Structure 1
């Protein structure tokens, strides 16, 4: 599932549908206007359609998917329109994540530590819920007093992580490979390859959010079976990366 807006149907969403989107077992865009050709669905949610109200939009998405598609898929993966996903890598990773996704909880993506007590999976890099976890979240969590049902905020990834942890004791999963290389990425491939630790006294939020999982540099930044990359802002970048991955001999 990706969230978007009508004006991006013919740009970002079209690029996704023409590249990685077709590799998913199911695909839906949640937008500001219905469009069966994508397919895109417009959902009503509390508050305005804006970045600072992303949590309410995401709550509506999860509620819709939980109502209409819960029993059709083992796992559900959500992110924004500026994602590039490798569905076969995601499928391969999730295949061994839990024994039975209809019974076992799973909440996985790119782990961040915002503060001493707040951990979450980056919404930008996308995160996955098992069927069992989504059932708990939609049946009980969405309207639970501890799950911020009335809050208007951009930090949807923090909100769902706190909800799952505080209400169901479902924590984060270390999704790195055997060599501690990350699979879910909050930046584009080039940004991860070129990133380096700041020179003190300079500080970097990315470094501070990853203190428990030291960031690997250059070729070690990304696992060979990486799942997702964020900030793919231009449709041409999505198509270019797709061509490099699948059509270069």
Structure 2
């Protein structure tokens, strides 16, 4: 009786080992097989990132000497790092900071002149460095990943610009200067070629965002609806809270 029991043990263990090997193989084969839904999501996400990378965005940040060590420093250390190229514009240069100077007064009443000259400078010196050109202030915060994602659905060759839309004063409305606005390459080209005409683009005066909005309208540059699928604004001019 004991001999039968002893002879039976190897058979039992062999059976157990075979089951374990088969289970191990099946589990690992399952792991190696692609999950269609999972891979589709990964592929879609990867392609989305690659597509966003192709949207070259130049960030034009308006600042002043008094804000270089505070507001401008925060900008350059946070969201501006995600720009294809970032250029700070002030009324004067500073050897300790990457800034370009334009010869205008620092007060708000000359903000139109500062903005017009800034875009003139970008057109003449950095037109080929990007496909989209965003103007922002040193107290503006931009989520570049979201901006680039939006830009993948737009055409840089179309005369368009985007921002927080106010439907007043200008026939097609204008975009808030505080929230910032983005010009397509074609919009900047039109400004560079014809924006020096004071009949089309007022070179100075109060109300920078209104003046620039009217300038764009005169140049045939269109405003575009930038609200998301739920009707929410992509660009917000007012402080949260």
- TM-score surpassing 0.5? yes
Computing the radius of gyration from Cα coordinates, the structure with the larger value is 2
Equivalent position to 1:142, from 196, 203, 216 = 196
Equivalent position to 2:205, from 141, 152, 157 = 152
Q: Distance in 1 between matches of 2:67 and 2:173?
A: 31
Question: Where do 1:187-226 residues align within 5 Å?
Answer: 187-190=238-241
Give the Å deviation of 1:161. 1.1
Give the Å deviation of 1:27. 0.5
Could you say what secondary structure the match of 1:177 adopts? coil
Stretch moving more, 134-143 or 28-37: 28-37
1:71 paired to 2:128: yes
Tell me: CA distance 1:157–1:18, structure 2 relative to 1, closer, same or farther (3 Å).
same
Q: Distance in 2 between matches of 1:116 and 1:87?
A: 28
Q: Distance in 2 between matches of 1:79 and 1:14?
A: 14
* Alignment: residue pair count: 182
Could you say what secondary structure the match of 1:55 adopts? helix
Question: Greater helix percent: which structure?
Answer: 2
Question: Where do 1:61-210 residues align within 5 Å?
Answer: 61-98=118-155, 101=156, 103-115=157-169, 117=171, 119-149=173-203, 151-153=204-206, 155-166=207-218, 168-190=219-241
Q: Distance in 1 between matches of 2:198 and 2:158?
A: 21
Q: Distance in 1 between matches of 2:170 and 2:88?
A: 34
Give the Å deviation of 1:143. 2.5
Q: Distance in 1 between matches of 2:145 and 2:95?
A: 25
Extract unaligned runs of 5+ from structure 2: 1-59
Tell me: CA distance 1:70–1:21, structure 2 relative to 1, closer, same or farther (3 Å).
same
Equivalent position to 2:106, from 35, 44, 49 = 49
Extract unaligned runs of 5+ from structure 1: 191-249
Higher RCO by CA contacts (8 Å cutoff, separation 6 or greater) = 1
Q: Contact between 1:17 and 1:38, CA under 8 Å: does it hold in 2?
A: no
1:60 paired to 2:117: yes
Could you say what secondary structure the match of 1:145 adopts? coil
